[in-house]
Chain A
Amino acid sequence: DGGITQSPKYLFRKEGQNVTLSCEQNLNHDAMYWYRQDPGQGLRLIYYSQIVNDFQKGDIAEGYSVSREKKESFPLTVTSAQKNPTAFYLCASSIGTDSWRYGYTFGSGTRLTVV
């Protein structure tokens, strides 16, 4: 079955460490997105990519980095510059340039906790 796989489901990080969250899709979707979810704050866009080797900052990109070397993969690195990284992270994908017509497909999320 096609879908989006996020790993790991739970991740613990020590302060000052970088961590990378994995997101892989086999839907042949062009666009991919990373969201951060905190209680009561809805979904906030971190980064998005509409094509391989290109990505744009979202609303809260500071302290995060991404790469898009393959169509199927869009990993997110949470750097030590992110002061409050504890959150639920969601990856999503959508079809092509008209992605807003079709909505997004989401992964099951990664819960990151700083210890």
Chain B
Amino acid sequence: AQSVTQLDSQVPVFEEAPVELRCNYSSSVSVYLFWYVQYPNQGLQLLLKYLSGSTLVKGINGFEAEFNKSQTSFHLRKPSVHISDTAEYFCAVSDPNAGNNRKLIWGLGTSLAVNP
């Protein structure tokens, strides 16, 4: 079965520094990939998604992610973070074996803490 691993549970970083949040998935078959952000006590908001085409995907708030099929990875990056980027980030992948009951498979999340 498909699974998603977010390699870092917590990532502390200083403001204006670059950041990378790592995500690996288990299956090498064609998948759809998503990154979501969750601010404290709120729901999740879609940052970006990869369905096909260019492996570099740009999203909202200056984030981007690169799909690497050979390494089954979909790492999220931002060249310069702000205090307001402090949040929980979730990676999700489609389940290609779910048939008509397709649903997203979620990582456990990475807590990004941006310090002044």
A84-102: which residues lie under 8 A (CB-CB) from chain B?
Answer: 88, 90, 92, 97-101
B108 & A104 in contact (Cβ 8 Å cutoff): no
In the assembled complex, B43 has its CB within 8 A of some CB on chain A: yes
In the bound complex, do residue B43 and residue A33 qualify as a contact, i.e. CB atoms below 8 Å apart?
no
Whether B9 pairs with A111 at a CB distance below 8 angstroms is no
* Contact of B102 with A41 in the complex, beta carbons under 8 Å: no
Question: Are A107 and B43 neighbours in the complex by a CB distance under 8 Å?
Answer: yes
Q: Given A40-B9, A41-B108, A56-B101, check contact A109 B42 (CB 8 Å).
A: yes
CA distance A7 to B102 in the complex (A): 27
Range, interface on chain A: 20 to 34
A81 within 8 A of B: no
Q: Please give me the residue from chain B that is nearest to A91 by CB atom.
A: B43
CB-CB contacts below 8 Å: B40-67 with A: 41-46, 49, 51
B42 engages A43 (CB within 8 Å): no
Known contacts A97-B100, A103-B46; A109/B107 CB under 8 A: no
For the complex of A and B, 9 pairs with smallest distance between CB atoms: A106-B43, A42-B108, A100-B94, A100-B102, A106-B44, A43-B106, A108-B43, A103-B46, A42-B106
Query: Hey, which bits of chain A sit against chain B, CB under 8 A?
Result: 4, 6, 33, 40-43, 45, 48, 50, 56, 88, 90, 92, 97-101, 103-109, 111
Beyond A41-B108, A50-B100, 12 additional contacts (C-beta under 8 Å) are: A4-B43, A40-B9, A40-B108, A42-B108, A45-B103, A92-B43, A100-B32, A103-B104, A104-B44, A104-B46, A106-B45, A111-B41
